[in-house]
C-alpha cells in the first residue's frame, strides 16, 4: 500500500484517523502499532514476521544494554554489538546475499548457489537503521531505555515513515511517543503538507518520469545530444519530486498524528557544491551515516589520510545501502571521489568563483551521478554520458524528440522553478501583505487533492522510487 493509492486515501487513512482520535491517550500507541503492522502486511504479509522479530530482539537488547551500561559497560557494549550485528545480518541476507553469491561464483572454483525468489522486504533498509540508532543511543546514554514494548514497536513501525523514511532516530522522537499533543492547527498543517507531497508525486513526478522514459528509450533507437541531456535532466527532477513528495507526505501524516519528523530535503538543486548538495538531499540518511559511521571512525578529529578514508567508507556504504548492484557501488565511489576532492582543495576554489559557476558545476555532477544511479547496465550509462557530448549520436535532436520536448518544456520549467525556494518565498511575502490569502491556500489544497485523485483514477500504478531500497 502506497500513499498515492486510492485505497490508502479513501479507506486506510480515514479509518486510521478515526480509530486514532476516538482512542484514549493511553491506547493511541497501540493503535499506531497495530495499524502500522497492517499497513506493512498489506504488501509484505510474510515479512511482517521478520520485522516483528527485529523489533523484539532490539527491544530485549535495549533492556539488557540499559541494565548493564552503568555497572558493566563492557557487557553493555557486547550486547550493543550483538544487536547491531543481528539487525545488519537480516539486511545483509535479504538485500545482498544473491548479489555476493552471483559475483563470487564468477571466481574460478567458487560456486555459491543463489536463492530463487529471495525478495527484499519493503522498508528493511530504513527500519534497520532506526533500530540500530536506538540500541546505539541507549548504549551512549543519549536516551532512556524504552521499557514499553508497544511504544518501541510504534516507533519502529510508524507507518508514515516506515517504507521510505525519513529515517527518524529514536532521540528525535522518544519524547513524542508519550508526550505529543494533537491540535486542529497541527492537523491542518499536516493535511496541507500531505497534499503538497501528493501533488509533487502525482502531478509532477510521474509526468517527468514519462518524459524520462521516452527520451531514454529514444537513445537506443536514435541517440541524440538533446535526448541524452533531457534524460539526465528529467530523471534528476523526477527523482526529486518523487522522493521529496514522499517525504512531504510522511511528514504531513506525522503532523496529523501529533508527531514532528525531521526534514529530509532543503532545496538540494540550489547547492553550489556537492558537499552542500548532500547536506540538502536525503538529510536523514546523510546525518545517520555521519552520526553512526563517520564520527565513530574518528570523523574530522583524525589526520588527513584517515579523514579521507572515513569519507570513502561512508560513501561506499551509502552507495551500497541503496541497492545490491554495481551501479550503486560506482555511484558511491563517484561521490566519494568528488567530496574528498572538494575537501582537499576544490571547495576553497569554488568559493572564489561566481555563484553561477558553483551551481552549474553542482548540477552537472549531480546529473551524472543520477545517470549512474538510474542505470543498472553501466554500458548504457556510459554511452548516455558520451552522448551528452555528441559521441555516438545521430545529431542534436530528432523531429519526434523536438515535438516531445516542446510538449515537456512547460513542465520542465515549472518543476525547475518549483525545486528552488522562490515559490515559497513569494507565497510567504504575499501572505504577509494579504492575510486573507489563507482561505486561498485552503481552496488550493482542495483543488490539488481533487486533481490528484482524478489522475489516480485514470492512471496506472506508479510506486515511489525509494520504496525499492
Query: C-alpha distances in angstroms, 365 versus 174, 205, 287, 338?
Result: 38, 21, 21, 9
Query: C-alpha distances in angstroms, 116 versus 45, 47, 113, 229, 321?
Result: 19, 16, 9, 38, 22
* For residue 31, pLDDT beyond 80: yes
Residue 315: which of 341, 289, 283, 287 has the closest Cα? 289
* For residue 431, pLDDT beyond 90: no
Tell me the Cα Rg of the chain. Answer: 23
The mean-pLDDT minimum among 51-60, 93-102, 249-258, 400-409 falls in 400-409
**Cell for 308?**
579521507
Question: Distance between CA 336 and CA 294 in Å, rounded?
Answer: 13
Burial of 96 (0-12, 13-18, 19+ CB in 10 A): middle
Question: Distance between CA 190 and CA 253 in Å, rounded?
Answer: 6
**Cell for 443?**
481552496
Question: Distance between CA 50 and CA 89 in Å, rounded?
Answer: 12
> pLDDT value at position 322?
92
- For residue 448, the surrounding DSSP H or E stretch is helix 437-458
Highest mean pLDDT among 262-276, 384-398, 425-439: 262-276
Region of 113 on the Ramachandran plot (φ > 0 left; ψ -120 to 50 alpha; else beta): beta
Asked if the bond preceding 404 is cis, omega within 30° of 0, the reply is no
**Cell for 369?**
551521478
Question: Distance between CA 445 and CA 194 in Å, rounded?
Answer: 10
> pLDDT value at position 334?
97
Sequence-ordered list of residues with C-beta below 8 angstroms from that of 446, at least 6 positions apart, any chain = none
pLDDT cut 70: percent of the chain above it: 99
Model confidence pLDDT, tens digit, residues 167-208: 999 999 999 999 998 999 999 999 999 999 999 999 999 999
> pLDDT value at position 139?
96
Model confidence pLDDT, tens digit, residues 352-385: 999 999 999 999 999 999 999 999 999 999 999 9
> pLDDT value at position 448?
94
DSSP 348-417: HHHHHS-HHHHHHHHHHHHHHHHHHHT-SSHHHHHHHHHHTTTTT-SSS--HHHHHHHHHHHHHHHHHHH
Question: Distance between CA 118 and CA 382 in Å, rounded?
Answer: 30
Active site residues: 322
CB 20 within 8 A of CB 28: yes
Model confidence pLDDT, tens digit, residues 290-302: 999 999 999 888 9
**Cell for 158?**
510508524
Q: What average pLDDT does the segment 58-62 reach?
A: 97
Burial of 380 (0-12, 13-18, 19+ CB in 10 A): middle
Q: What average pLDDT does the segment 411-420 reach?
A: 95
Q: Which residue has the cell 528493511?
A: 124
Question: Distance between CA 447 and CA 469 in Å, rounded?
Answer: 32
3-state secondary structure 114-154: CCCCCCCCCCHHHHHHHHHHHHHHHHHCCCCCCCCHHHHHH
CB 243 within 8 A of CB 282: yes
> pLDDT value at position 172?
93
> pLDDT value at position 469?
60
Residue-averaged pLDDT of the chain: 92
> pLDDT value at position 461?
63
* For residue 325, pLDDT beyond 80: yes
Question: Distance between CA 57 and CA 44 in Å, rounded?
Answer: 20
The mean-pLDDT minimum among 94-103, 116-125, 393-402, 406-415 falls in 393-402
Burial of 409 (0-12, 13-18, 19+ CB in 10 A): exposed
pTM over 0.85: yes
Amino acid at each position: 500500500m502506497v500513499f498515492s493509492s486510492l485505497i490508502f486515501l479513501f479507506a486506510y487513512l480515514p479509518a486510521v484517523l478515526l480509530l486514532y482520535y476516538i482512542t484514549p491517550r493511553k491506547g493511541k500507541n497501540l493503535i499506531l502499532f497495530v495499524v502500522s503492522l497492517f499497513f506493512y502486511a498489506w504488501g509484505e504479509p510474510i515479512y511482517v514476521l521478520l520485522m516483528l522479530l527485529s523489533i523484539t530482539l532490539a527491544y530485549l537488547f535495549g533492556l539488557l544494554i540499559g541494565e548493564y551500561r552503568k555497572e558493566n559497560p563492557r557487557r553493555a557494549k557486547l550486547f550493543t554489538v550483538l544487536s547491531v550485528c543481528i539487525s545488519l545480518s537480516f539486511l545483509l541476507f535479504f538485500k545482498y546475499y544473491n548479489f555476493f553469491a552471483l559475483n563470487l561464483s564468477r571466481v574460478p572454483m567458487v560456486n555459491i548457489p543463489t536463492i530463487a525468489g529471495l525478495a527484499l522486504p519493503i522498508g528493511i533498509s530504513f527500519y534497520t537503521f532506526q533500530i540500530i540508532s536506538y540500541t546505539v543511543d541507549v548504549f551512549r546514554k543519549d536516551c532512556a531505555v524504552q521499557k514499553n514494548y508497544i511504544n518501541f514497536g510504534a516507533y519502529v513501525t510508524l507507518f508514515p515513515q516506515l517504507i521510505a523514511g525519513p529515517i527518524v532516530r529514536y532521540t528525535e522522537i522518544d519524547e513524542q511517543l508519550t508526550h505529543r499533543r494533537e491540535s486542529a492547527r497541527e492537523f491542518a498543517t499536516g493535511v496541507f503538507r500531505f497534499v503538497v507531497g501528493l501533488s509533487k508525486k502525482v502531478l509532477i513526478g510521474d509526468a517527468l518520469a514519462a518524459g524520462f522514459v521516452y527520451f531514454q528509450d529514444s537513445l537506443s533507437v536514435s541517440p541524440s545530444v538533446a535526448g541524452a541531456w533531457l534524460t539526465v535532466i528529467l530523471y534528476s527532477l523526477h527523482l526529486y519530486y518523487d522522493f521529496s513528495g514522499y517525504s512531504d507526505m510522511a511528514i504531513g501524516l506525522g503532523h496529523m498524528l501529533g508527531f514532528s519528523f525531521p526534514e529530509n530535503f532543503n532545496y538540494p538543486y540550489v547547492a553550489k557544491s556537492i558537499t552542500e548538495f548532500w547536506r540538502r538531499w536525503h538529510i536523514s540518511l546523510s546525518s545517520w551515516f555521519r552520526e553512526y559511521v563517520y564520527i565513530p571512525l574518528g570523523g574530522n578529529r583524525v589526520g588527513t589520510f584517515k579523514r579521507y578514508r572515513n569519507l570513502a567508507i561512508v560513501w561506499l556504504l551509502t552507495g551500497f545501502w541503496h541497492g545490491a548492484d554495481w551501479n550503486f557501488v560506482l555511484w558511491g565511489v563517484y561521490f566519494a571521489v568528488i567530496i574528498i576532492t572538494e575537501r582537499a582543495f576544490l571547495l576553497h576554489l569554488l568559493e572564489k568563483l561566481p555563484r553561477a559557476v558553483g551551481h552549474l558545476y553542482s548540477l552537472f555532477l549531480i546529473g551524472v551521478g543520477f545517470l549512474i544511479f538510474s542505470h543498472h547496465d553501466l554500458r548504457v550509462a556510459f554511452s548516455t554520458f558520451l552522448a551528452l557530448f555528441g559521441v555516438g549520436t545521430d545529431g542534436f535532436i530528432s523531429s519526434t524528440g523536438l515535438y516531445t520536448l516542446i510538449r515537456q518544456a512547460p513542465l520542465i520549467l515549472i518543476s525547475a522553478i518549483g525545486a528552488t525556494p522562490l515559490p515559497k518565498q513569494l507565497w510567504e511575502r504575499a501572505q504577509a501583505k494579504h492575510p486573507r490569502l489563507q482561505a486561498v491556500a485552503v481552496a488550493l489544497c482542495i483543488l490539488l487533492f481533487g486533481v490528484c485523485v482524478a489522475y489516480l483514477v485514470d492512471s496506472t500504478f506508479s510506486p515511489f522510487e525509494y520504496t525499492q531500497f
